[in-house]
């Protein structure tokens, strides 16, 4: 057998193992869900006006988690329910979601929930192919809210046209989309809201604030191909963290990507070296309170840091939304692709050979009026007004506008024959009971994607 054939067999074998594991995980999750659903009361009929449709599995929970707090606040005005199509995701959602959850694995279960509720707006946080199954139901607005802001190709997909409306961050998003969405009514269908998540960044800190300058270093992993080799732990990280720890006047928050070192053992070793340095520094001076952060929640790190040092990743834009100083590590691999069409064309780069001079760079960012002015321009372009509460106000105003539009069109079509599933129809009796779920033997679409 040739080398290429052997490699193909190995790939097929690994894929088969992954599929088998995913099937087992789904079966276990369905068993847990069946028991949980049997103990939960049903959703109050007619209560929910907004749904968040989530058709992914647990692996992509980060996409909906970042919306928990903004949606929880919105639910005080407009009750919100999460429609989960996948067993593994539904299991986690029932455990952690601050919003009510309906497990709707099958189309029958989905339609039953729609029949019992008065859903007027459906939010989507990603472009899962199962979103198309939900699009069949008219007489409601289908609204794409995404799961972050960046200049990645994902942010310019023509799939935006599939939704009635899209809530976008700001002018940068509109400019990016205008290049690819031909004959698209941006004035009507794209609504700027900023980054509501940024209004919820703060929480109790794992350190006591003092006179130290707080520096967040949040590198990504090494990547699995040279074009995406953005990780800086081995090229920048050891030197810059060592320099910051040595001053006695800085506090480091180190938040490495959880996959750091999975491909490159040297990268993993550098990560462990930094973790060890932080532990040693805290032992030598307990008042330093440096933080090695591995938590699932992201927010307090961005709001508490005076300066952030990040790699090319979504963290760039999460930090930008805070309106506070940041530096981007410059990739050392010349094959790493960098989109210079937006903020990265004018950002504060940190070359690897200047990592040991990080103190000088952070001092400059905090005191240089030109750097502060440039940052303010880009913050405004990407997110608009980042005054605390401003993005939340725009988000709520956008929802109110869509509700008003729903009322307008509902009145126009008041005499139409009822064609769609809604709470205005009397739902058929269901034996699935709790939270809009379905029995284990129901027919319909399968849940988590196993490809």
Tens-digit pLDDT profile for residues 272-299: 999 999 999 999 999 999 999 998 888 9
More confident residue, 422 or 95: 95
| Residue where a domain stops, chosen among 383, 411, 437 | 383
In a domain, 179, yes or no: yes
In a domain, 139, yes or no: yes
Q: Work out the pLDDT band at 443, boundaries 50, 70, 90.
A: very low
CATH number of the domain that residue 170 is part of = 3.40.50
Q: Work out the pLDDT band at 153, boundaries 50, 70, 90.
A: low
What confidence score (pLDDT) does residue 343 get? Answer: 94
| Strand locations in 162-310 (E) | 165-168, 190-192, 213-218, 250-254, 291-292, 307-310
pLDDT at 450 over 50: no
In a domain, 25, yes or no: no
In a domain, 5, yes or no: no
Pairing relation of β-strands 250-254 and 213-218? parallel
What are phi and psi for residue 333, nearest 5 degrees?
-80, 120
pLDDT at 110 over 80: yes
Same domain assignment for residues 188 and 295: no
In a domain, 284, yes or no: yes
What confidence score (pLDDT) does residue 152 get? Answer: 67
What confidence score (pLDDT) does residue 190 get? Answer: 96
Same domain assignment for residues 379 and 440: no
What confidence score (pLDDT) does residue 280 get? Answer: 98
In a domain, 208, yes or no: no
What confidence score (pLDDT) does residue 202 get? Answer: 79
- Rounded to the nearest integer, the mean pLDDT of the chain is 88
If you average pLDDT over residues 381-409, what whole number do you get? 97
pLDDT at 207 over 80: yes
What confidence score (pLDDT) does residue 149 get? Answer: 86
What separation, in Å, do the N-terminal and C-terminal C-alpha atoms of the chain show? 27
If you average pLDDT over residues 381-397, what whole number do you get? 96
In a domain, 13, yes or no: no
What confidence score (pLDDT) does residue 6 get? Answer: 61
Same domain assignment for residues 239 and 348: yes
User: Residue 275 is inside which H or E element, if any?
Assistant: helix 265-284
Q: What is the pLDDT of residues 156-167, one digit of tens each?
A: 788 999 999 999
DSSP letters for 316-345: HHHHHTTT--EEEEPPS-TT----TTSGGG
pLDDT at 271 over 90: yes
DSSP letters for 52-79: EEE---GGGTHHHHTTHHHHHHHTTTS-
Same domain assignment for residues 378 and 401: no
What confidence score (pLDDT) does residue 431 get? Answer: 31
Residues 6+ apart with CB under 8 A from 171: 192, 380, 381, 382, 384
Query: 3-class SS at 257?
Result: coil
Same domain assignment for residues 77 and 184: yes
For 119, half-sphere exposure in the C-beta direction (CA atoms, 13 angstrom radius) is 29
Same domain assignment for residues 370 and 245: yes
In degrees to the nearest 10, what's the CA dihedral of 309, 313, 318, 324? 30
Same domain assignment for residues 250 and 305: yes
Q: Work out the pLDDT band at 416, boundaries 50, 70, 90.
A: confident
Q: Do 307 and 362 meet the contact criterion of CB atoms below 8 Å apart?
A: yes
Same domain assignment for residues 174 and 237: no
What confidence score (pLDDT) does residue 444 get? Answer: 37
Neighbours of 23 (CB within 10 A): 12
If you average pLDDT over residues 156-184, what whole number do you get? 93
User: Residue 95 is inside which H or E element, if any?
Assistant: helix 87-96
Same domain assignment for residues 69 and 96: yes
| Tally of domains within the chain | 2
Same domain assignment for residues 54 and 68: yes
pLDDT at 13 over 80: no
What are phi and psi for residue 241, nearest 5 degrees?
-65, -40
Q: How many helices (H) and strands (E) does the chain have?
A: 15, 13
Alpha-carbon distance 354 to 309, whole Å?
13
Same domain assignment for residues 112 and 189: yes
Name the residue range of residue 419's domain.
40-194+386-451
Alpha-carbon distance 409 to 418, whole Å?
14
Same domain assignment for residues 238 and 357: yes
Q: Work out the pLDDT band at 341, boundaries 50, 70, 90.
A: confident
Residue 58 in tokens: 């647990």
User: Residue 80 is inside which H or E element, if any?
Assistant: strand 80-84
Q: Work out the pLDDT band at 154, boundaries 50, 70, 90.
A: low
Alpha-carbon distance 316 to 319, whole Å?
5
Q: Is the dihedral of CA 308, 313, 315, 320 positive or negative?
A: positive
| Residue where a domain stops, chosen among 337, 357, 383 | 383
| Residue where a domain stops, chosen among 348, 383, 418 | 383
Q: What is the pLDDT of residues 53-102, one digit of tens each?
A: 999 998 889 899 999 999 999 999 999 999 999 999 999 999 999 999 99
Q: Work out the pLDDT band at 12, boundaries 50, 70, 90.
A: low
If you average pLDDT over residues 11-31, what whole number do you get? 64
Residue with tokens 């990603």: 126
Q: Work out the pLDDT band at 316, boundaries 50, 70, 90.
A: very high
CATH number of the domain that residue 293 is part of = 3.40.50.2000
If you average pLDDT over residues 34-45, what whole number do you get? 80
In a domain, 207, yes or no: no
What confidence score (pLDDT) does residue 446 get? Answer: 45
What confidence score (pLDDT) does residue 47 get? Answer: 96
Q: Which of 61-70, 134-143, 206-215, 424-433 has the lowest mean pLDDT?
A: 424-433
């Amino acid at each position: 057998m040739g080398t290429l054939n052997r490699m193909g067999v190995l790939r097929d074998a690994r894929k088969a193992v992954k599929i088998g594991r995913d099937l087992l995980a789904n079966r276990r999750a369905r068993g847990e869900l069946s028991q949980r659903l049997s103990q939960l009361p049903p959703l109050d009929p007619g209560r929910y006006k907004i749904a968040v449709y989530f058709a992914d599995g647990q692996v992509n929970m980060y996409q909906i988690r970042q919306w928990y707090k903004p949606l929880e606040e919105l639910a005080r005005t407009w009750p919100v329910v999460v429609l989960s199509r996948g067993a593994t995701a539904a299991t986690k959602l029932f455990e952690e979601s601050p919003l009510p959850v309906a497990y709707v694995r099958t189309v029958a279960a989905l339609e039953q929930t729609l029949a019992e509720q008065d859903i007027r707006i459906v939010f989507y946080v990603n472009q899962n192919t199962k979103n198309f199954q939900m699009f069949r139901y008219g007489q409601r607005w289908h609204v794409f809210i995404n799961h972050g802001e960046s200049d990645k190709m994902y942010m310019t997909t023509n799939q935006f046209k599939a939704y009635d409306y899209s809530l976008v961050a700001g002018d940068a998003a509109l400019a990016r989309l205008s290049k690819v969405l031909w004959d698209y009514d941006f004035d009507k269908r794209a609504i700027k809201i900023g980054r509501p998540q940024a209004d919820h960044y703060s929480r109790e800190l794992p350190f006591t604030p003092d006179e130290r300058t707080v520096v967040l270093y949040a590198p990504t992993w090494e990547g699995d191909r040279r074009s995406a080799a953005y990780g800086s732990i081995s090229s920048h990280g050891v030197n810059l963290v060592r320099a910051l720890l040595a001053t006695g006047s800085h506090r480091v928050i180190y938040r490495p990507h959880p996959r750091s070192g999975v491909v490159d053992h040297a990268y993993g070793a550098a990560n462990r070296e930094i973790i060890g340095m932080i532990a040693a520094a805290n032992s030598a001076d307990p008042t330093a309170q440096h933080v090695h952060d591995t938590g699932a929640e992201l927010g307090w790190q961005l709001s508490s840091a005076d300066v952030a040092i990040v790699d090319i990743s979504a963290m760039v834009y999460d930090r930008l939304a805070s309106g506070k100083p940041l530096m981007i590590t410059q990739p050392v691999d010349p094959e790493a692709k960098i989109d210079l069409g937006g903020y990265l064309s004018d950002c504060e780069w940190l070359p690897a050979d200047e990592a040991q001079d990080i103190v000088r760079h952070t001092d400059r960012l905090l005191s240089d009026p030109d750097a502060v002015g440039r940052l303010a321009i880009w913050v405004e372009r990407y997110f608009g007004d980042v005054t605390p509460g401003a993005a939340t106000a725009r988000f709520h105003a956008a929802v109110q506008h869509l509700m008003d539009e729903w009322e307008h069109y509902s009145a126009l079509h008041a005499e139409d024959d009822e064609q769609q599933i809604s709470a205005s129809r009397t739902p058929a009796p269901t034996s699935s009971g709790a939270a809009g779920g379905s029995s284990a033997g129901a027919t319909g679409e399968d849940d988590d994607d196993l490809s």
